């Protein structure tokens, strides 16, 4: 990443995490009516900074991160009451979507004449399953109910040339992965790397690589270069 790109990232970061923007976002989704110590701006920045700087084990990690970042003495109960609000999920979702869309920047490329240089995007799509607390089995049922009755799957689409995700969806582990593949029309001049088990619906040419210990991948062309 050159100096110009770094400057662009810095400007985008200031825009995405602008105090006025995040506070307005919190108001728009009805997460916050009156802004006191835990404002949408402070909460959004603290959640992001804590996730980026340490491993998160419990909600208390976010609480401690908030107080450390802003030098406050907010009690755990007061912090919990904010993140337990029904509209907090809407606020966090909106902030994450804005972060993914506005902070994406092409940082990799190929020399002129290189075969892959003909493609505008190299897309990677896959899902990863995670077991969660058994008490959430009704909301997030798992596929392996005897071992772990509650589980989620994180479906992620990543643009390798931007070295960043473009779509992130969290669902119950029982949800079909095919629903989260990119639409064929969005793959023009692109290469898609995905599990070979669910590419039949795209209706586009497939190139198979030999099987590997961790499973095979398939490469398909989403349109002419």
Whole-number Å distance between alpha carbons of 150 and 30: 30
- Residues 151-179: pLDDT tens digits? 999 988 888 887 788 888 889 999 887 78
120 and 175 in a single domain? The answer is yes
User: Which of 75, 102, 129 corresponds to the end of one domain?
Assistant: 102
- 37: exposed, middle or buried (Cβ count in 10 Å: 0-12, 13-18, 19+): middle
HEC assignment per residue over 72-111: CCCCHHHHHHHHCCCCHHHHHHHHHHHHHHHCCCCCCCCC
Give buried/exposed letters for 89-114 (b at 16+ CB in 10 A, else e). Answer: ebbbebbeebbeeeeeeeeeeeeeee
- pLDDT above 80: residue 103: no
128 and 97 in a single domain? The answer is no
- Using DSSP's 3-state secondary structure scheme, residue 141 falls into strand
88 and 123 in a single domain? The answer is no
Q: Residue 83 falls within a domain, yes or no?
A: yes
What are the Cα distances from residue 88, in Å, to 93, 94, 218?
8, 10, 39
Q: Residue 31 falls within a domain, yes or no?
A: yes
The pLDDT > 70 percentage for the chain reads 81
Q: Residue 93 falls within a domain, yes or no?
A: yes
| Strand pairing category for 121-131 and 151-159 | antiparallel
- pLDDT above 80: residue 132: yes
Name the average pLDDT for the chain: 80
The pLDDT > 90 percentage for the chain reads 30
User: Which of 102, 125, 158 corresponds to the end of one domain?
Assistant: 102
| Strand pairing category for 190-194 and 164-172 | unpaired
Supply the DSSP symbol for 150.
B
149 and 77 in a single domain? The answer is no
81 and 150 in a single domain? The answer is no
- pLDDT above 60: residue 2: no
- Of 106-120, 130-144, 190-204, the range with the lowest mean pLDDT is 190-204
Stronger pLDDT, 48 or 106, i.e. the higher one: 48
50 and 98 in a single domain? The answer is yes
pLDDT, residue 203, reads 52
- pLDDT above 90: residue 5: no
84 and 149 in a single domain? The answer is no
96 and 128 in a single domain? The answer is no
19 and 93 in a single domain? The answer is yes
Q: Residue 88 falls within a domain, yes or no?
A: yes
Q: Residue 184 falls within a domain, yes or no?
A: yes
Whole-number Å distance between alpha carbons of 191 and 116: 9
Query: How many domains are contained in the chain?
Result: 2
Question: Whole-prediction pTM value?
Answer: 0.64
User: Model confidence at 218, in pLDDT bands (50, 70, 90)?
Assistant: very low
User: Model confidence at 216, in pLDDT bands (50, 70, 90)?
Assistant: very low
User: Model confidence at 32, in pLDDT bands (50, 70, 90)?
Assistant: confident
Q: Residue 53 falls within a domain, yes or no?
A: yes
Q: Residue 108 falls within a domain, yes or no?
A: no
What are the Cα distances from residue 137, in Å, to 56, 82, 86, 171?
22, 24, 20, 12
Q: Residue 107 falls within a domain, yes or no?
A: no
User: What is the mean predicted confidence (pLDDT) over 7-20?
Assistant: 75
pLDDT, residue 52, reads 87
77 and 169 in a single domain? The answer is no
pLDDT, residue 116, reads 77
| Alpha helices per DSSP H over 133-201 | none
User: How many CB atoms are closer than 10 A to CB 158?
Assistant: 18
pLDDT, residue 186, reads 81
pLDDT, residue 146, reads 83
- 34: exposed, middle or buried (Cβ count in 10 Å: 0-12, 13-18, 19+): exposed
Q: Tell me the residue range of the domain where 93 lies.
A: 3-102
Whole-number Å distance between alpha carbons of 24 and 26: 5
Give buried/exposed letters for 197-215 (b at 16+ CB in 10 A, else e). Answer: ebbeebeeeeeeeeeeeee
155 and 213 in a single domain? The answer is yes
User: Which of 71, 102, 133 corresponds to the end of one domain?
Assistant: 102
68 and 32 in a single domain? The answer is yes
- Of 7-11, 34-38, 67-71, the range with the lowest mean pLDDT is 7-11
Stronger pLDDT, 217 or 203, i.e. the higher one: 203
């Amino acid at each position: 990443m050159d100096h110009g790109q770094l400057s662009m990232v810095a400007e985008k970061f200031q825009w995405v995490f602008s105090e006025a923007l995040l506070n307005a976002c919190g108001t728009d989704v009805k997460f916050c009516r009156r802004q006191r110590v835990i404002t949408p701006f402070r909460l959004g920045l603290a959640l992001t900074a804590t996730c980026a700087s340490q491993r998160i084990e419990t909600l208390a990690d976010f609480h401690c991160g908030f107080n450390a970042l802003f030098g406050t003495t907010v009690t755990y109960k007061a912090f919990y009451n904010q993140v337990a609000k029904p509209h907090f999920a809407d606020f966090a979702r909106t902030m994450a979507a804005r972060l993914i869309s506005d902070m994406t920047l092409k940082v990799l490329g190929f020399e002129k004449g290189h075969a892959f240089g003909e493609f505008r995007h190299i897309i990677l799509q896959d899902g990863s399953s995670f077991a969660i607390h058994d008490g959430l089995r009704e909301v997030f049922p798992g596929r392996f109910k005897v071992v772990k009755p509650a589980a989620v799957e994180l479906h992620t689409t990543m643009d390798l040339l931007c070295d960043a995700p473009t779509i992130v969806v969290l669902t119950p582990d029982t949800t079909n992965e095919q629903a989260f593949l990119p639409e064929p029309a969005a793959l023009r001049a692109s290469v898609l790397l995905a599990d070979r088990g669910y590419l039949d619906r795209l209706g586009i040419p497939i190139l198979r690589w030999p099987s590997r210990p961790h499973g095979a991948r398939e490469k398909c062309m989403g349109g002419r270069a």
